Amino acid sequence: MTTEVIKIEGMMCGHCQANVEKTIVAIEGVSEVKVDLEAKQATVTFDPDTASLDAIKAAVTDVGYTVVA
């Protein structure tokens, strides 16, 4: 398991936060995700053999948010 922090722009409210969490946790290999609205970041724990950081970032982008790091 590895834990990465992703910086996300565009989350305005609790709905956005829940949307991003739901999107990331649905990815195979992801075991835990915590989205901090104030800090504009998601802390994601995943199995790097199954999920990739690129795939997680792409999924966040797909639902309409901007991954900045």
Q: Which residues bind Cu ion (CB under 5 A)?
A: 12-13, 15-16
Nearest to Cu ion of 12, 69 (CB atom):
12
Could you list the beta-strand ranges (E) of 1-69.
2-9, 30-36, 41-46, 66-67
User: CB of residue 5 vs Cu ion: minimum separation in angstroms?
Assistant: 20
Task: Write down the least CB distance from residue 48 to Cu ion, Å.
Answer: 30
Q: How far is the CB of 29 from Cu ion (least distance, A)?
A: 26
Query: Cα–chain-centroid distance for residue 4?
Result: 9
Residue 30: both structure tokens together: 């992801």
